[in-house]
Amino acid sequence: MAILLGSIADDYTGASDLANTLTKNGLRTVQTVGIPDPSLALPDVDAVVVSLKIRSVPASDAVAAAASAERWLRQRGAGHVLYKICSTFDSTDAGNIGPVTEALSDAAGGGVVLVTPAFPETGRTVYLGHLFVGGQPLNESPLKDHPLNPMHDANLVRVLTRQSRNAVGLVDLTTIAAGPGAVKARLDAFRTAGITAVIADAIFERDLETLGEVALETPVSTGASGLGLGLARALVRSGRISSGGATTTDAIRPVGGLSAVVAGSCSKATLHQLDIAERSMPVLRLDPEQLLAGPDEIAAAISWAGDRISAGPVVIAASAAPETVSRLQLLYGREASGHAIETATSIITAELVERGVRRLVVAGGETSGAAVDRLAIPAFLIGPEIAPGVPVLRTVGNAQGDMLLALKSGNFGGDDFFTAALAMMH
Ligand SMILES: Nc1ncnc2c1ncn2[C@@H]1O[C@H](COP(=O)(O)OP(=O)(O)OP(=O)(O)O)[C@@H](O)[C@H]1O
Ligand SMILES: O=C(O)[C@@H](O)C(=O)CO
């Protein structure tokens, strides 16, 4: 299998978001969970998205994992590797966007890396280096209250500089509007000045098409699904995609079994979707303090689900409002509480699958990563889109048999996302 485009995603929901965008824009795409075992039979594809869980781990761990994935992708022919980050630039001053971008650039022999989290379809735009989320500057958006990576600065040149060894530049919208030639000239000037990463503005898809065309001629880029769109369209325009496009129908053949939703995302969108789900499905709100206190809350949740699940889908959520999250974090620490809750939700997920769940929605990137790892799912085929950034996924090589999943990024999906997702999985 020779691949044209490789990607390393820093979380699993982000990986499925990107795989969805690449598929929609004409690339046959598979999402692997980590570097796949050589024995795993993968379909013939144009693009592979390797999902890692490296958004909120120590920078050195993130760099090591990304470097291995990059080697694997290059050995399979990838001429360009996109490091898929969150469209809201989720990170801290310790990383991991800067350190991983620099390491991937070094591995590819240096050069300037284009960096942009813009994803206009979901309201993420970048202007003069400032990230807007649905019309609000990043630092005024709900991301200011993120449980793991609270974002307090919308100026991405500043944010990335704090995470990087080298200086960071800006390719502004005026340059991008002047076309690929103008962007390349700007990158050459940055290279001469010793700059190795540049934030690129992008408001419309046409900006990302320009950036994709330029990025494709370089070995590495860093961005969200918008840059994926630009790269995919540039590849298709280059005539190098011979497959005649991607199909998603195979991915949604019915799997039967029971269905459930597990949520650990505390985003404003997820909290609202849970309120709406309560109108049509049984919803169990876990007590986070009890989850941290011992296994009883997990056992109670499994028993609660067992009493209801044969009658229809159930929802189990650790998600809580920012005040509750802050209180827990004050008591137990930010990382420790996040990690403990991910472990608890992943155990609950595995128990549900043990009891026959085959159609599963998980809300939250870290939450999804922990759940998919516990289930030991090796890879996914990409099915149709449920909402921008969230496709139906079909497992490949799964020990429990075929399953359909949706891994929902915290901020994605409409009000009725959970019912809409389950309605597409049979
Ligand atoms: N009640 C709670 N109190 C504190 N932390 C919580 C609580 N419920 C969940 N968490 C933790 O909050 C974090 C949520 O991150 P996660 O990545 O799953 O969601 P998200 O950030 O909204 O999604 P995405 O990364 O896709 O945008 C996880 O570590 C989860 O364990
Ligand atoms: O880019 C996004 O916003 C999402 O794919 C994501 O990475 C959230 O975890």
Q: Do 197 and 269 have their domain in common?
A: no
Which helix (H) or strand (E) segment holds residue 396: the answer is strand 390-396
Q: Do 228 and 266 have their domain in common?
A: no
Give the pLDDT confidence of 260-307 residue by residue, as tens digits.
999 999 999 999 999 999 999 999 999 999 999 999 999 999 999 999
Q: Do 78 and 158 have their domain in common?
A: yes
> Of 177, 211, 237, which residue is a domain's last?
237
Section 163-177 average pLDDT: 97
Q: Do 54 and 182 have their domain in common?
A: yes
Q: Do 233 and 255 have their domain in common?
A: no
Residue 243 has pLDDT above 70, yes or no: no
Look up the domain containing 11 and give its range. Answer: 5-237
Q: Model confidence at 149, in pLDDT bands (50, 70, 90)? A: confident
**CA atoms within 13 Å, Cβ hemisphere of 386:** 29
For the Cβ of 267 lying below 6 angstroms from any atom of ligand 2, the answer is no
Mutate to test the pocket of ligand 2, among 97, 119, 409 (most ligand atoms within 8 A of CB): 409
Residues contacting residue 279 through CB under 8 Å, at least 6 positions apart: none
CA 327 vs CA 92, 264, 284: distances in Å? 21, 16, 21
CA 195 vs CA 168, 223, 234, 324: distances in Å? 6, 18, 25, 42
d(CA 90, CA 9): 13
Give the pLDDT confidence of 311-331 residue by residue, as tens digits.
999 999 999 999 999 999 999
d(CA 51, CA 32): 6
Preceding omega of 411 cis (within 30 degrees of 0): no
Do 259 and 425 form a contact (C-beta atoms < 8 A)?
yes
> Of 174, 203, 237, which residue is a domain's last?
237
pLDDT value for 147: 81
Q: Model confidence at 242, in pLDDT bands (50, 70, 90)? A: confident
Atom of ligand 2 nearest to the CA of 16: 5
Q: Do 198 and 262 have their domain in common?
A: no
For residue 245, being part of any structural domain is answered with no
pLDDT value for 145: 87
How high is the ipTM of this complex?
Answer: 0.98
Section 114-127 average pLDDT: 98
Section 115-136 average pLDDT: 97
Section 228-245 average pLDDT: 89
For residue 110, being part of any structural domain is answered with yes
For residue 208, being part of any structural domain is answered with yes
Tell me the whole-structure pTM to 2 decimals: 0.96
Section 10-25 average pLDDT: 97
For residue 147, being part of any structural domain is answered with yes
> Which residue is associated with the tokens 């991607």?
246
In total, the chain counts a number of residues equal to 426
Q: Do 204 and 271 have their domain in common?
A: no
For the Cβ of 227 lying below 6 angstroms from any atom of ligand 2, the answer is no
Find the 368 Cα to ligand 1 centroid distance in Å. Answer: 10
Q: Model confidence at 6, in pLDDT bands (50, 70, 90)? A: very high
Q: Do 147 and 287 have their domain in common?
A: no
- 220-223 and 197-200 as β-strands: parallel, antiparallel, unpaired? unpaired
For the Cβ of 366 lying below 6 angstroms from any atom of ligand 2, the answer is no
Residue 255 has pLDDT above 90, yes or no: yes
Find the 165 Cα to ligand 1 centroid distance in Å. Answer: 29
pLDDT value for 125: 98
Residue 244 has pLDDT above 90, yes or no: no
Residue 1 has pLDDT above 80, yes or no: no
For residue 244, being part of any structural domain is answered with no
pLDDT value for 340: 94
Section 382-397 average pLDDT: 97
Residue 247 has pLDDT above 70, yes or no: no
Which two tokens mark 408?
């929902």
For the Cβ of 353 lying below 6 angstroms from any atom of ligand 2, the answer is no
Q: In 3-state terms, what secondary structure has residue 57?
A: coil
Give the pLDDT confidence of 150-165 residue by residue, as tens digits.
999 999 999 999 999 9
The angle formed by the CA atoms of residues 93, 86 and 45, to the nearest 5 degrees, is 135
Protein residue closest via CA to atom 30 of ligand 1: 338
Which helix (H) or strand (E) segment holds residue 380: the answer is strand 379-387
Q: Do 171 and 40 have their domain in common?
A: yes
Residue 105 has pLDDT above 90, yes or no: yes
> Of 237, 268, 287, which residue is a domain's last?
237
Count of structural domains within the chain:
2
Helix axes 334-354, 365-375, angle to 10 degrees: 50
Provide the CATH number for the domain around residue 280. Answer: 3.40.980.20
For the Cβ of 413 lying below 6 angstroms from any atom of ligand 2, the answer is no
Do 91 and 16 form a contact (C-beta atoms < 8 A)?
no
Do 319 and 274 form a contact (C-beta atoms < 8 A)?
yes
Mutate to test the pocket of ligand 1, among 266, 272, 289 (most ligand atoms within 8 A of CB): 266
For residue 350, being part of any structural domain is answered with yes
For the Cβ of 11 lying below 6 angstroms from any atom of ligand 2, the answer is yes
Provide the CATH number for the domain around residue 48. Answer: 3.40.50.10840
Find the 110 Cα to ligand 2 centroid distance in Å. Answer: 27
Q: Do 329 and 381 have their domain in common?
A: yes
Instruction: Write down the mean pLDDT value for the chain.
Output: 95
Which two tokens mark 344?
């608890």
Q: Which residues surround ligand 1 with Cβ inside 6 Å? A: 11, 13, 146-148, 264-267, 270, 288, 318-320, 324-325, 328, 337-338, 341-342, 364-367, 409-411
Find the 14 Cα to ligand 2 centroid distance in Å. Answer: 4
In the chain, % of residues over pLDDT 70: 99
For residue 242, being part of any structural domain is answered with no
Which two tokens mark 73?
């992708």
Q: Model confidence at 246, in pLDDT bands (50, 70, 90)? A: low
Do 252 and 394 form a contact (C-beta atoms < 8 A)?
yes
Atom of ligand 1 nearest to the CA of 344: 31
